[in-house]
Structure 1
Amino acid sequence: MMWLCGVDEAGRGPLAGSVFAAAVVLPDGHGIVGLNDSKKLTERRREALFPQIQQRALAWAIAEASREEIDRLNILHATMLAMERAVAALSLVPHKVLIDGNRIPKGLTLPAEAIVEGDAKVEAISAASILAKVARDRALLALDIRYPGYGFARHKGYPTAEHLAALGRLGPCPEHRQSFAPVRAAGAQASLW
């Protein structure tokens, strides 16, 4: 049996928090209905699929690169690092890694292929997309409790009008990505944190 691992990320665009990646190896005939690019699914549907993927996958792992790593490495390299960590954390070694997008992390030592829009084309990548997105959304709910006032529970760190207004009002919190232009601009003023 050929073990194909799907890999995807969540959280490249937001102004705060870690970037997450997941790796998933699905068996043939896994029976999970409704796998798709996580962005095309409702939050409720992603939450329903999350435990099904974990229960039915041959192996799965979720990893992240921290806000500090994003600021030190840049978002692209931090994303690649999170993907490498997710693959390395799998309980089995896949024969091939299928990655959503057009880049393969340089640190991967396994055969790999980048697939543009893979999260809508390959079920294992769709599953990874869902795990990464749900894990990241949950992390932002926790940030919302730690740093109230920014609206993290609603916008999940994306640069919405609400988030930018809060940044202007409160300044950045410790989980804001200092290397992102809107955060740097807001950081010129005093922060409450």
Structure 2
Amino acid sequence: MTKTVPDYSFEEAARARGLSCIAGVDEVGRGPLAGPVTAAAVVLDPTRIPEGLNDSKKLSAKRREALFDEILELAEVSIAHASVEEIDELNILRASHLAMERAVAGLFTSPDHLLIDGNMVPRGITLSNETIIKGDAKSVSIAAASIMAKTTRDRLMVDLAQQFPGYGWESNAGYPSKSHKQALENLGVTPHHRRSFKPIHNILYQQKNVTG
């Protein structure tokens, strides 16, 4: 089976239609039980595309870190978050879209066209756009956005792990690993846990019934 890697074909097709400033948009962190959801928008310089861009999940942490610095140096980047409170208030899908909207709005240059990972356009985005399912494995601009978002969020979770040790956020990034779920049982829920997510909601419900 041929191994596919992202390329610049989606961007080239948009440029052929007269759209010169193309931004890739992606988000990470829908599945964790803790921490914000993070999005990035990246406008690559077609003459200076970093080598080895790919879906962030297919890269080692060391490679992501190296590419993060290279992308920052060679491209225009905007990174944004939606908080745990916003996730609980809006739902995770809407919050992830809000983070994407903020990332796009944070770009210094307003893009002519967006390449958005997934199959849904955030409702706050009115710019020319197209959605690409598994876009981080198809478009280098979306791959770059996925790297910037994941690296930023992973770093943030490492910082939060220092404040709330025991949950393993420095390695599980807030995802529901076995050790994370065990820590929730032993240590309880922190302010950074998503209360609208069923495992957290259930723990709080049980605690309320025990104490109430």
TM-score, length-scaled by structure 1: 0.96
Distance (Å, rounded) in 2 between the aligned partners of 1:108 and 1:123: 21
Q: Does 1:19 align with 2:56?
A: no
Give the root-mean-square deviation of aligned CA atoms: 1.0
Q: Equivalent residue for 2:203?
A: 186
Amino acid in structure 1 at the alignment position of 2:68: F
The Cα shift of 1:185 comes to 1.7
Q: Equivalent residue for 1:61?
A: 78
Where 2:159 maps in the other structure, the secondary structure is helix
Q: Does 1:151 align with 2:168?
A: yes
Q: Equivalent residue for 1:30?
A: 48
Where 2:114 maps in the other structure, the secondary structure is strand
Amino acid in structure 1 at the alignment position of 2:84: R
Kept in 2, the 8 Å contact 1:171–1:189? The answer is no
Runs of 4+ in 1 over 4 A off after TM superposition: none
Amino acid in structure 2 at the alignment position of 1:4: I
Map Cα deviations across residues 111-158 of structure 1 (whole Å, 9 max, x no partner).
Answer: 111100100110000000000000000110011011111111011100
Q: Equivalent residue for 1:76?
A: 93
Q: Does 1:3 align with 2:4?
A: no
Q: Which runs of 5+ in 2 are unaligned?
A: 1-18
Q: Equivalent residue for 1:102?
A: 119
Map Cα deviations across residues 15-37 of structure 1 (whole Å, 9 max, x no partner).
Answer: 00000000000011214111000
Q: Which runs of 5+ in 1 are unaligned?
A: none
Distance (Å, rounded) in 2 between the aligned partners of 1:94 and 1:31: 17
Q: Equivalent residue for 2:107?
A: 90
Identify which of 114, 129, 142 aligns with 1:112: 129
Q: Equivalent residue for 1:41?
A: 59
Distance (Å, rounded) in 1 between the aligned partners of 2:155 and 2:78: 16
